[in-house]
Amino acid sequence: MRKWLTGSILLYFIYGLFVYWYLFVFSKTGIPASFEGTSADPATFMSGRELILSQDYSTIKNFLYFVTVPFEWFLLFVFLITGMSRKMQEWSNATSKFFSLQSAVYFFWLSLYVTVLSFPVEWIGYQKSKEYNITTQSFSSWMKDQVIDFWVNYALMTVIVIVVYWLIRRFEKRWWLYAWLLSIPFSLFLMFVQPVVIDPLYNDFYPLQNKELEEKILAIADKADIPAEHVYEVNMSEKTNALNAYVTGIGSNSRIVLWDTTLNRLNEDEILFIMAHEMGHYVMNHIYVGIAGYLLLSLFGLFFIHLLMKMVIRRYGTLLKIHSIKELTAFPLFLILLGMLTFVSSPLSNTVSRYQEKSADIYAIEMTNDHEAAVRSFQELSKAGLSQVNPPALVKIFRYTHPTMFERILYLEEHGDKNSNHE
């Protein structure tokens, strides 16, 4: 056990050194010389101080992301190899004769263990965000969100744990297929209730207060044949200076949401472009394409997890204190494999997402026909979030669900040039 623990700590340390070297030493985030002085050059729309802050903040944020992802896997591995998972199952078994209650007790202690040990890293992220004036949230408000996160995730995951282990115990060879089939209505249900049940736990949502702007947005929606009755705004200025807008929910609960920071910082033309972008997602059914892609990946993911769990328990079960896939003790292994497969598949899912975002950008520019407002909105988004215009390749591959700001501004300019030539 000591050998494996020492090896895993050493491996994690080497990984951390590599990430540090890649982000702080190796990576160059400047734009090609041929684009210097263009609207895609951050030096043309950021001050010298903003350029330095965006570089520093983005690098720190990316470093924390890459070192945090495997940190949770490491915690779960320690939970297994030290026998804590085995002990926790024994304690949960003693609390009740009902497996559902045993599962709830076991997962509570597992969640608490990971949350408490991960808290320092989360706190560092919060402090850095506040230091660079991205976060405006007080510590008490931030802690409130952390507590809500814990209980929402615990409630949802407890249901998943109970169902998955019931299936494993009942259908050991095909549990992954039945779990996937049940995940379809469960995922759709979550997406349906999220805007009206989950999101309001964190922020207040209300119809857009600027009725004149809402009429213009709804006019674009009508032009695109979108049956929208309201645009919603959310009071994010209590928590952040960053800008955002998004589409959430499905069916009758689908919503187009604007952060009040976006309303406060961007002018009307820029907001209309962003709204047209969000409507583009609706028109091109990106939400449903995303659901289909997620379900397809989850089918293969659950199948691979089934095979990998069997293989790992067969070879290393004694070391990890796991006797069978049917035991709650094995759940940390399930989470480790799920996390790894999700991370490994993120370049694929991010590539699809970036394609969708580009399509929505093109749709928005064709709807508004205002290239200058579109470019300004992306420049303001970069400034408000202190984001790198041209991030390192690995950051883009593993983190970016949107094209980089350099790419977005560039193809909007090219689109505008083509239109001018045609005219």
Neighbours of 383 (CB within 10 A): 19
215 has binding-site annotation? no
Quote the crossing angle between the two packed helices 84-95 and 99-131, to the nearest 10°: 130
Hunting for tokens 């979030």 — which residue is that? 385
Instruction: Say whether 240 sits in a helix, a strand or coil.
Output: strand
277 has binding-site annotation? yes
Structure tokens at 249: 């929910």
* 317: alpha, beta or left? (left if phi > 0; alpha if psi -120 to 50): alpha
Residue 166 CA to residue 175 CA, distance in Å, equals: 9
Residues with a catalytic annotation lie at 278, 361
281 has binding-site annotation? yes
Encode burial over 394-423: b for 16+ CB neighbours within 10 A, e otherwise. Answer: bbbebbbebbbbbbbbbbbbebbeeeeeee
Q: What is the H or E stretch that residue 255 is in?
A: strand 255-259
**CB proximity list for 227: less than 8 A, separation 6 or greater:** 221
Judge contact between 59 and 71, C-beta under 8 A: no
* Order of strands across the sheet that contains 255-259: 205-207, 232-234, 255-259, 245-248
Backbone angles phi and psi of 336, in degrees to 5: -60, -50
Judge contact between 275 and 231, C-beta under 8 A: yes
Neighbours of 37 (CB within 10 A): 10
Annotated binding site: 277, 281, 357
Annotated binding site for Zn(2+): 277, 281, 357
